[in-house]
Amino acid sequence: MMATDLQIPTPSMIPGRVTSANPATGEILRQFACATEAQVQAAVARARAAQPAWNEMGARKRTEILGRFQQLLLEKKSEVARLIAQEEGKPCVEALLTEVLVVLDAARFCIDNAYDFLRERAVPHGSLATKTKSGRLLREPYGVIAIISPWNYPFSIPATQSLAALVAGNAVVLKPSESTSLCALELGSLFRLAGVPEDLFQIVAGDGATGSALVNAAVDKLIFTGSVPTGKRIAQAAASCLLPVVLELGGKDPMLVLDNADIETASSGAVWGAFVNAGQACLSVERCYVHRSKYEPFLEACVRKTMQLRVGNGMDSETDIGPLVNERQLRNVEVQVEEARSLGARVLIGGSRLPELGPNFYSPTVLADVTHEMRIMREETFGPVLPIMPFDDDDQAVQLANDSEYGLSASVWTGDRVRGEALAKRMESGTVMVNDAVSCFGISEAPHGGIKSRGIGRTNGRFGLEEMVRTKYVDSDRLPGMKKVWWYGYGESLARQMEGFLDLQFASNWSQRLRGAIKSAGVMVRKGRL
């Protein structure tokens, strides 16, 4: 997910500061001084000091505060959506659907599940040798969780990750994208109004240097969402101090349209999946493979529907697709489309900037006759482009889908759910949706993450909560005054008894087990133990 690399400097940017600007108009919304290394370390120290009391509060009290956060967000839903549209560019209605709704439901999941997830659990002991013991599993917070978050979903991604971290008893220090600090500040304001202590959730605005300072600020765990190159650098830095990390680094998600798929439905899914948030999503449909028998009708349907989309300022209620976030992102899309065109791809619609609308607009684009020799089918595009390629059978479709360094998400479109789920099992991807795409991130119970260059770890659901805690096992002996049979001293007698004890537990027939019981009978009262 292209998210947290440095912006290309513009005349409006001041050294040592980052700029929040409306990508549709270029209007500067606000500039922020970059947090220095000393300021980042101080923020982490304050968070660490505040965390023990938050943890001692207990899961039920913490979920009450999350409940207040949820209701405050619900009350301010339209205001928050407008801020997202203004700072990131997506339409307001899309901000409600893909950001506000997602966060409200993530809060619901944490409220409903945190207490049960965090409570102590008994660990049964199956071995006869440990039957006198009582084991318990504890989940304890890490302490201070650092979150480095992206610009493309500037509210929902940091909010969902922070909710899980906070409800588990951690403190959070959030470094938002240099492009979207205002959304992060709004999140922080909502948390404070709900009752989260000020020092427990802190925001350090800044550029890449600020992010580096946070990685090196002696935090207890890091969650990073961003590009693969930046993620690799962070992983190397984290490895030097054994800092545990969750890395969500992007996707090149394939969509398979089988020969029995409904073209009308699948084409609508492809158009939305490719163009939602102007294609700036790690879960976007970035590669579409269609059975050859459906190829031309599918192309026609996608072009027809793309022609009906309204591109414009996200603040306009009639807008379907907003701008790209900045010139650098627009240029990346432009370069990939032009290279594909030069290598034989057909541009069926789009394929150009829309300068009359503003500085960062690119027309939604449908490409045909693409191949895997083109960057548009290999590298993350992060723009409003739908490249479509035919296939001949299911085996070839799976082979094409798996021919990628990414493995975040995928989709299969078919009239036969059983067939679709069978293909899903063969696809190298963390998530596969049958007859839908992208919306898996909005399913709070579902883990978000993948394989290959996608990154490390999971967010969302119980797997996401697991990333926010350390697991501790506590074992108590019910016979504290008895010396254990496996303690010193050893000897020939103990060896014979242990042979019998192993037969008693694991022999495949009952007669051998009975002989083992007789052979090991004296082990509990053997003499000579130190």
Beginning with the edge strand found earlier in the chain, give each strand of the sheet holding 253-257 in spatial order: 346-349, 365-368, 385-391, 285-291, 253-257, 409-413, 431-434
Report which of 95, 218, 92, 199 is spatially closest to residue 152, judged by C-alpha positions.
95
449 SS3 class: coil
Quick check: 1 pLDDT over 60?
no
Quick check: 13 pLDDT over 90?
no
Quick check: 463 pLDDT over 90?
yes
Q: What is the mean pLDDT of residues 340-364?
A: 98
- 248 is an active site residue: yes
CA distances from 493 to 315, 498, 505, 517, 518 (A): 83, 9, 19, 15, 13
Quick check: 324 pLDDT over 80?
yes
Beta-strand relationship, 451-452 and 406-407: antiparallel
How much of the chain, in percent, has pLDDT values that exceed 90? 93
Convert the pLDDT of each residue in 241-258 to its tens digit. 999 999 999 899 999 999
Q: What is the mean pLDDT of residues 32-38?
A: 97
Cβ–Cβ < 8 Å for 238, 214: no
Count CB-CB contacts under 10 A for residue 99: 27
- 92 is an active site residue: no
168 SS3 class: coil
User: Exactly one of 248, 286, 379, 467 is catalytic; which is it?
Assistant: 248
Cβ–Cβ < 8 Å for 67, 218: no
Rounded to whole angstroms, how far apart are CA atoms 130 and 125? 6
Residue type, 352: S
User: Exactly one of 183, 282, 288, 302 is catalytic; which is it?
Assistant: 282
Confidence of residue 528 (pLDDT cuts 50, 70, 90): confident
Rounded to whole angstroms, how far apart are CA atoms 24 and 518? 83
DSSP conformation letters of 266-332: HHHHHHHHHHGGGG-STTSEEEEEEEGGGHHHHHHHHHHHHHT--BS-TTSTT-SB---SSHHHHHH
- Confidence (pTM): 0.94
Q: What is the mean pLDDT of residues 102-127?
A: 97
Confidence of residue 526 (pLDDT cuts 50, 70, 90): confident
Quick check: 66 pLDDT over 70?
yes
Quick check: 189 pLDDT over 60?
yes
Convert the pLDDT of each residue in 361-375 to its tens digit. 999 999 999 999 999
Report which of 218, 73, 233, 217 is spatially closest to residue 155, judged by C-alpha positions.
73
Architecture of domain 35-249+462-472: 3-Layer(aba) Sandwich (3.40)
Report the run of H or E that residue 166 belongs to, with start and end.
helix 156-167
CA 84 distance to own-chain centroid? 19
Domain 253-443 has CATH 3.60.150.10: no
Quick check: 12 pLDDT over 80?
no
How much of the chain, in percent, has pLDDT values that exceed 70? 97
Burial 42-81 (b: 16+ CB within 10 A, else e): ebbebbbebbeebbeeebeebbebbbbbbebbeebbeebb
The structural domains of the chain, with segments of one domain joined by +, span 35-249+462-472, 253-443, 483-525
